[in-house]
Amino acid sequence: MKPLKNDTYLRALMRQPTDYTPVWMMRQAGRYLPEYKATRAQAGDFMSLCRNAELACEVTLQPLRRFPLDAAILFSDILTIPDAMGLGLYFETGEGPRFERPVTCAADVQRIGIPDPEGELGYVMNAVRTIRRELQGEVPLIGFSGSPWTLATYMVEGGSSKAFTKIKKMMYAEPQTLHLLLDKLADSVTSYLNAQVAAGAQSLMIFDTWGGVLTPRDYNEFSLQYMAKIVDGLTRESDGRRVPVTLFTKNGGQWLEAIAATGCDAVGLDWTINIADAKRRVGDKVALQGNMDPSMLYASPERIEQEVASILEGFGHGPGHVFNLGHGIHLDVEPEHAGAFIESVHRLSRSYHAG
Ligand code: CP3
C-alpha cells in the first residue's frame, strides 16, 4: 500500500498542526456532478452502483478529480445494513428510499440478525478495498454508517419521514422493542465499521441525521447511548495510525458537550450553530467539522468566500477544524461553486495556521 501523501484531514481530526484547514463535502459524490449521473445510468440504479466495486470506486474518485479535496468518502449508503437485515431496500424515483418489509412489531425485531460484513455486506468491503487501491495514497478514505436511531427511523417508518409518528409510537408505547432493535443495530454498525477499517478505511463517520427530532432525554436514551457504545467497540488504530471517529447529529447543537464526551475524536456541526460558540463549549476535547449552510453554494463565489472567511474566523487560530458543509450538497448546485468553496477554504485558512 502506498504511503499517505496528504494527511491534513487526519491530523486536523487529531487536533495536530496543519498548514491549512482541510475540506471535504458531505455527499461530494452525487447528482450535482454530470459524470456521476453518467456512471449511475451505466450501473442502472443506485443500489447496483453501490454493489459494483469498480463503479462505486469510479464515483468516489470523480469529485477528487475535479477538486483538491482533502478526503475521499466511500460511495455507499447508510441503508445497506437494514437491506442486509432483509428489509428489501428500493428507491422510488423522486421519493427517496423505501423498504418492502418495514419493522412493525416485536416479532419483526426478534427475527432480525446481525449481518456479516464480509457476507451480505461483502460488496461494501470490496468497494472499500478497490477505492483504497485506486486512491494510491493521495488522501485518506472515510468509511461510514448511520447511527442506530437514524437507521431505525427508516426501518420502522418504511422510508423517509417528516413526523416520525411510527417510530415515536414504538418509542413511547413499546420502548423495550425499540431498545432491542437499537441494540441489534449498534452491534451491526460496530462490526460493519470495524470491517471497513480492516478493508482500508482510515477514518470513520457516523451519520445521526434524525437524532435532532428527539427530546433531550430521549436523545440520550435512544440515540447517543448507542453511538457511545459503538465508539467503545471500534478499532481505533490501523497500520500504526489512529483511525479517528466523527459523530454528526443533525440539529444536535444543544447536545455538543454530551456528544464530545462519548470518546469520539470529532463532532460534526450543521449550520444552525455558531462554530465559535461550539468551540468555546467543547474546548480542546474534540475537533469540529463543519459548518457552512449547503444552500450558500447557490450564492456567488464572492458571497461563498465571505461565508468561508466568517466560519474560519469563528473557529479561529490553531488546529482542530475540518471544513465541511453542515449537511449534504444539494443536487442542483453548480460544480464551479463547490470548486470556489474548496479553493476559498484552502487559500483563506493558511493565515490561521501560521507559526
Ligand atoms: O459522497 C458521499 O457523501 C458518499 C455517499 C453517501 C450517500 N448516502 C450516497 C447517496 C453517503 C455518506 C450517504 C449517507 C446517507 N444516506 C444518509 C446520511 C447523511 C445525510 O444526508 O443525512 C442518509 C440519511 C441516507 C439515506 C438516503 N440515501 C436518502 C434519504 C437518499 C435519497 C435522497 C436523495 O438525495 O435522493 C439516499 C440515496 C442516495 N445516497 C443518493 C446518493 C448519491 C442519491 C441516489 C441517486 O443517485 O439517485
24, 26, 27, best to mutate for ligand 1 pocket (most atoms within 8 Å of CB): 27
CA 328 – ligand 1 centroid, Å: 8
Compute the average pLDDT of residues 41-65.
97
Residue 2 within any structural domain of the chain: no
What pLDDT is stored for residue 166 in this prediction? 98
Q: Which of 154, 192, 219, 226 is catalytic?
A: 154
Compute the average pLDDT of residues 278-297.
97
What pLDDT is stored for residue 92 in this prediction? 82
Distances (CA, A) of 154 to 99, 146, 148, 315, 349: 8, 11, 10, 34, 38
- As a whole number of angstroms, the distance between CA 170 and CA 177 comes to 7
In sequence order, which residues have a C-beta less than 8 Å from that of residue 133 and are 6 or more positions away? none
- As a whole number of angstroms, the distance between CA 113 and CA 43 comes to 29
Ligand 1 touching residue 30 (CB < 6 A) = yes
**What is the 3-state secondary structure of the chain?**
CCCCCCCHHHHHHCCCCCCCCCECCCCCCCCCCHHHHHHHHHHCCHHHHHHCHHHHHHHHHHHHHHCCCCCEECCCCCCHHHHHHHHCEEEECCCEEEECCCCCCHHHHHHCCCCCCCCCCHHHHHHHHHHHHHHCCCCCEEEEEECHHHHHHHHHHCECCCCCHHHHHHHHHCHHHHHHHHHHHHHHHHHHHHHHHHHCCCEEEEEECCHHHCCHHHHHHHHHHHHHHHHHHCCCEECCEECCEEEEECCCHHHHHHHHCCCCCEEECCCCCCHHHHHHHHCCCCEEEEEECHHHHHCCHHHHHHHHHHHHHHHCCCCCEEEEECCCCCCCCCHHHHHHHHHHHHHHHHHHCCC
State residue 158 phi and psi, 5-degree precision. 85, 5
Residue 306 within any structural domain of the chain: yes
Atom of ligand 1 nearest to the CA of 29: 1
Ligand 1 touching residue 86 (CB < 6 A) = no
Residue 355 reports pLDDT greater than 70: no
- As a whole number of angstroms, the distance between CA 266 and CA 255 comes to 14
Percent of the chain with pLDDT over 90: 97
- Is 65 considered catalytic here? no
CA 30 – ligand 1 centroid, Å: 8
Ligand 1 touching residue 212 (CB < 6 A) = no
CA-nearest residue, atom 32 of ligand 1? 96
CA-nearest residue, atom 40 of ligand 1? 77
Compute the average pLDDT of residues 171-177.
98
State residue 272 phi and psi, 5-degree precision. -85, 0
Atom of ligand 1 nearest to the CA of 63: 1
C-alpha cell at position 213: 427530532
Compute the average pLDDT of residues 41-61.
97
CA 129 – ligand 1 centroid, Å: 21
C-alpha cell at position 1: 500500500
Q: Which of 70, 77, 208, 265 is catalytic?
A: 77
CA 75 – ligand 1 centroid, Å: 9
Chain position carrying cell 431505525 = 152
Report the number of distinct structural domains present in the chain.
Answer: 1
- Is 77 considered catalytic here? yes
Residue 1 within any structural domain of the chain: no
Residue 93 reports pLDDT greater than 90: no
Residue ranges of the annotated binding site for substrate are 27-31, 77, 154, 209, 327
pLDDT band at 94 (very low <50, low <70, confident <90, very high): confident
Distances (CA, A) of 56 to 62, 123, 129, 220, 316: 10, 10, 11, 35, 37
CA-nearest residue, atom 24 of ligand 1? 209
- Is 27 considered catalytic here? yes
- As a whole number of angstroms, the distance between CA 266 and CA 205 comes to 9
Ligand 1 touching residue 115 (CB < 6 A) = no
The strand pairing partners of 97, in sequence order, are 91
Atom of ligand 1 nearest to the CA of 96: 32
- Is 350 considered catalytic here? no
Domain of residue 28, residue span: 8-352
What pLDDT is stored for residue 78 in this prediction? 98
CA 172 – ligand 1 centroid, Å: 29
Residue 63 within any structural domain of the chain: yes
Residue 287 reports pLDDT greater than 90: yes
CATH number of the structural domain spanning residue 329: 3.20.20.210
What pLDDT is stored for residue 153 in this prediction? 98
Residue 251 within any structural domain of the chain: yes
Its ipTM equals 0.94
The end-to-end CA distance of the chain, in Å, is 33
| pLDDT per position as a tens digit, 310-351 | 999 999 999 999 999 999 999 999 999 999 999 999 999 999
The answer to whether the CB of 248 falls within 8 A of the CB of 267 is: yes
| pLDDT per position as a tens digit, 183-231 | 999 999 999 999 999 999 999 999 999 999 999 999 999 999 999 999 9
Residue 60 within any structural domain of the chain: yes
Q: Which of 10, 9, 53, 255 is nearest to 147 (CA)?
A: 255
Residue 1 reports pLDDT greater than 80: no
